[in-house]
Every structure is written in C-alpha cells, then in structure tokens.
Amino acid sequence: MQNSDRSRGRGILYRVYERRLRSGLDEAATPKHVAMIIDGNRRWAKQLGYDTAAHGHRAGAAKVREFLEWCDDLGIQVVTLYLLSSDNLVNRASDELTDLIEIIAELAEELSHYRDWRVQHVGSDQGLPEPLVAALDAAEHRTADKRGLHVNLAVGYGGRTEITDAMRAIVAAHHAEGRSLEDLAERLTPELIGEHLYTGGQPDPDLVIRTSGEQRLSDFMLWQAAHSEFYFVEALGPDLRRVDFLRAIRDYAKRHRRFGG
C-alpha cells in the first residue's frame, strides 16, 4: 500500500512538473525540426531480462509514437527518426535484424494512419528487404497530401552514403545536360548539394537528441547537423519521459545559436 501511494504521489509530482515546464516554454524559441536517435533498446531489454532484443525494439517503437505526439502537440514541424542505419544492415545478428525490420514496417504503417502526419522515407533502399521497402513506399504514398507533422523515417540510412549519393546525382544530371567538368566546378555549392540530399527541400534540424547517454552522431545527418544543437539524455530509449523531452526543448530555447560563428 505504501509503495502504491508513493508511486501515485510521484506521478502527481511529475505531472505538475511537466505542466510547469510546458507553460514556461517560449513558442517562438521552439525548434522547427528535431532529429532523434532513440538508442538503448537492446540494453533496455537485457536489463529487464528479456531473451531477445525484439522486446526492446518494440518498446522503442512505442516510445517513438509517444515522442511524435509530444513534438506535434508542441508545434514542431519536422521530426527525423534514426531507426536503422546502413551499418546495422551488416553488423546486426540476422535474427535481431529480421525482428527489427518487421517492427519498422509495422511502425511505418501505423504512423501513416495517425493524425494528419506525412511520412517520408529518408535513406537508401539498397540492402533493405522488399517487404520493408514496400511498407515505407506505401506509407509515403498514403500520406503524400497530408500537411501535419512531417515525419522522416531514416531507414537504411548513412550520412556519408547520403552525401555520396547526392554528389552522384549532381554529376549524373550535369552529364546528361552535356556540360563540362569546369562548369560543374562553378555550379557546385553547398546549396546545390543540400537540394540533392534525402531531405532535400526540408529545413536542417535545429536540435538533435540522443538517448542512452551515448554522445556521438553515428553517421546521422552529417551534412544537415553542421549547425544543429545537441542534447544527450541518460535514459535508455524506451524509458524516455515527456519531462526529459521538455527539458531538452527548454535547454535548446536558452542557447544562443551561432551557426558556426
């Protein structure tokens, strides 16, 4: 009984703290684009004694849905979620990868029916199984005309590969136009490269959040995050709370962005 009362009291305090954090945020200082690396799913499953990492990945997927709701309710316009890297395709055990691919396909399907969200796959199809590619394509097609929160699913994604693909696309288009190498050198600008990234036409992320206490980018949005702010959370992905998210937004709002200056 005492434990129940203590948990109830703690829940009330958290809700009060959440409301205080939320009311103290300046809407004008809220990031427009948030990128998220939800890390620690496997450790979460191991700590709880589960026999496979799939339990952690499913819990992480459930947290993704919560996180997107938090972002949408706060007026954030674009969220990019790092779900599966191109490195994961070759470094993860086959059983775990099979489970993760199924979970991501289910998540894409679910998000494409939720609110007025637009879902977009940002990444390469290379190395992805056909059912996952089909699920991502279907979600993107189904939500193409929606105007709510823009949700980027970074699947089969690698930052260096993205930049390489952008350069290849630029060179191929230039060659098709029959232009010279010298002309390409004149035309090549950061803006042109940005237009050919997987996220071409979107604003760069203002804030990049990573869970699990790790403080690295892991080949995520290397170009786009050049001037982003970073926030690292100790909680493992499935344990992320709304108060953790609101603290990140509050911290971002207090920073003076220099954009390389």
pLDDT tens readout for residues 3-40 = 565 556 566 777 787 788 777 788 788 999 999 999 99
The domain ranges of the chain are: 30-254
Instruction: Say how far apart CA 214 and CA 28 lie, in whole Å.
Output: 29
pLDDT digits (tens, 9 = 90+) for 73-117: 999 999 999 999 999 998 787 889 999 999 999 999 999 999 999
Query: What's the pLDDT at 18?
Result: 79
CATH superfamily of the domain spanning 30-254: Decaprenyl diphosphate synthase-like (3.40.1180.10)
Query: What's the pLDDT at 21?
Result: 77
39 labelled binding-site residue = yes
pLDDT digits (tens, 9 = 90+) for 159-175: 999 999 999 999 999 88
- Quick one: pLDDT band at residue 224, thresholds 50, 70, 90? very high
Higher pLDDT, 207 or 12: 207
| Catalytic (active-site) positions | 39, 88
Q: 118 — phi, psi (to 5°)?
A: -100, 125
Q: 254 — phi, psi (to 5°)?
A: -85, -15
Instruction: Write out the two tokens for 121.
Output: 């796959």
3 labelled binding-site residue = no
210 labelled binding-site residue = yes
95 labelled binding-site residue = no
Query: What's the pLDDT at 175?
Result: 85
pTM: 0.90
Beta-carbon contacts of residue 146 (< 8 Å; ≥ 6 apart): 116, 117, 118
- In whole angstroms, what separates CA 27 from the centre of its chain? 21
19 labelled binding-site residue = no
Q: How far is CA 16 from CA 21, 66, 95, 155, 259, in A?
A: 9, 19, 43, 37, 35
255 labelled binding-site residue = no
Average pLDDT over residues 127-132: 96
